[in-house]
């Protein structure tokens, strides 16, 4: 149903001198800070794969045949484009005597912002549920299930990540070797770097992953603690200590996501140099950018319509550039 005069009577009340629009979040693209982005996708279903390189070279004994190796097949991941959109309708009297008269025509940008905000929320949900294989979410069309597994069939953060050559599994849940899902503090930060250092590539070689960016819920305890630890490291101090020793881990960037709503204590760190669609970490695959359309005038009623749509999918094929913790200090 369109917005009518009866739905917002203040707009035509002459006794109210000023009416301001309380807009949605200005269009943002914060997800680009931690996800690879590919636009211009042309296929409804887009399957990607990878191939691992070689292991270590071997000695060649006197007059011996050189040792032969072959690359190993990597993981496949299929992305399926989903269309999202919203329609906003206004009756003709509401438009002329309410919206235009009150100079609130910027209300028409809300359809675009609704798409942008959804995109940020879906990425934040993907992080919040990065320890699970699926989760249930909802929108105005109802509840629906989202599968979160990547190319190896496991969620983004897991203790049983498959290796392409069938070798020992990889773990990217933050652990110091005894405690899993460490709380975010200086000890947890060291455990994150330890966890990343033990992740091996497709043929079992060290990856040399360099964690340089932290993701936390904006405004959370971990968010402020992260800023304090970062400041101490930048000053050459040992975080959370009165000792004069220097910090043992490098400084890092902090991304505070306001869209994280449920698992607000969770935290993640990643290597931004491996944040790309080519590498296959968390990705955004877009076939249509946010497209606002309107005004469309319904001939019979004079109703004025504005809408916006966007088509994309998100997910991961590769897991190796990121580690995560539920912040529970479980053994």
User: Which whole-number Å values give the CA distances from 36 to 31, 79, 312, in the listed order?
Assistant: 9, 14, 13
Residue 307 resides in a domain: yes
Are the C-beta atoms of 122 and 310 separated by less than 8 Å? no
Residue 270 lies in a domain: yes
Does some domain include residue 178? yes
Q: Which two tokens stand for residue 202?
A: 């497709």
Distance of CA 220 to the CA centre of its chain: 18
- Cα–Cα nearest to 268, from 318, 315, 220, 217: 217
pLDDT at 108 over 90: no
Which two structure tokens, joined as six digits, stand for 289?
A: 């950018």
Does residue 59 form part of some domain?
no
Tell me if 253 sits within 8 A of 5, measured CB to CB: no
pLDDT of residue 105: 67
pLDDT value, residue 279: 87
Task: Report the C-alpha gap between 44 and 27 in whole angstroms.
Answer: 25
Is 30 among the domain residues? no
Give the total number of structural domains in the chain.
1
What is the end-to-end Cα distance of the chain in Å, rounded?
54
User: What's the CA gap between 98 and 13, in Å, rounded?
Assistant: 9
Closest CA to 214 of 249, 180, 240: 249
DSSP character at residue 325:
E
Query: What does the pLDDT average to over 31-52?
Result: 93
Q: Tens digits of per-residue pLDDT, 265-308?
A: 999 999 999 998 888 899 999 999 999 888 888 898 888 888 99
| Token reading at 82 | 């989903």
Q: Is there a domain that residue 198 lies in? A: yes
pLDDT of residue 18: 56
Q: Is residue 205 part of a domain?
A: yes
Q: Is residue 172 part of a domain?
A: yes
| Peptide bond before residue 157 is cis, with ω within 30 degrees of 0 | no
Domain extent, residue 189, equals 5-13+37-51+78-325
For 154-177, what is each residue's pLDDT tens digit? 999 999 999 999 999 999 999 999
Whether 100 has a pLDDT exceeding 80, the answer reads: no
């Amino acid at each position: 149903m369109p917005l009518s005069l009866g739905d917002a009577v203040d707009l035509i009340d002459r006794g109210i001198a000023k009416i301001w629009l309380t807009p949605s979040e200005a269009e943002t693209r914060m997800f680009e800070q931690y996800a690879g982005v590919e636009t211009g996708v042309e296929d409804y279903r887009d399957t990607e794969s990878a191939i691992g390189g070689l292991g270590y070279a071997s000695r060649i004994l006197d007059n011996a045949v050189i040792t032969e190796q072959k690359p190993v097949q990597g993981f496949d991941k299929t992305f399926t484009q989903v269309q999202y959109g919203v329609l906003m309708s206004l009756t003709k009297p509401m438009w002329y005597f309410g919206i235009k008269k009150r100079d609130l025509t910027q209300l028409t940008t809300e359809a675009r912002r609704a798409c942008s905000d959804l995109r940020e929320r879906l990425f934040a949900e993907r992080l919040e549920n990065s320890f699970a294989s699926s989760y249930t979410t909802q929108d105005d069309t109802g509840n629906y299930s989202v599968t979160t597994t990547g190319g190896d069939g496991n969620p983004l953060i897991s203790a049983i990540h498959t290796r392409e050559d069938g070798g020992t599994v990889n773990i990217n849940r933050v652990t110091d070797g005894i405690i899993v899902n460490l709380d975010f503090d200086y000890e947890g930060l060291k455990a994150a770097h330890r966890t990343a250092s033990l992740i091996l590539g497709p043929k079992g070689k060290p990856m040399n992953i360099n964690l340089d960016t932290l993701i936390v819920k904006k405004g959370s305890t971990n968010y402020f603690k992260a800023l304090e630890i970062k400041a101490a490291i930048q000053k050459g101090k040992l975080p959370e200590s009165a000792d004069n020793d220097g910090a043992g881990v490098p400084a890092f960037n902090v991304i505070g996501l306001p869209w994280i709503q449920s698992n607000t204590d969770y935290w993640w760190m990643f290597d931004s140099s491996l944040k790309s669609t080519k590498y296959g970490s968390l990705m955004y695959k877009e076939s249509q950018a946010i497209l606002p359309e309107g005004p469309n005038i319904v001939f019979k009623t004079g109703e004025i319509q504005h809408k916006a749509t966007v088509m994309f999918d998100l997910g991961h094929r590769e897991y190796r550039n990121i580690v995560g913790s539920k912040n529970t200090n479980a053994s």
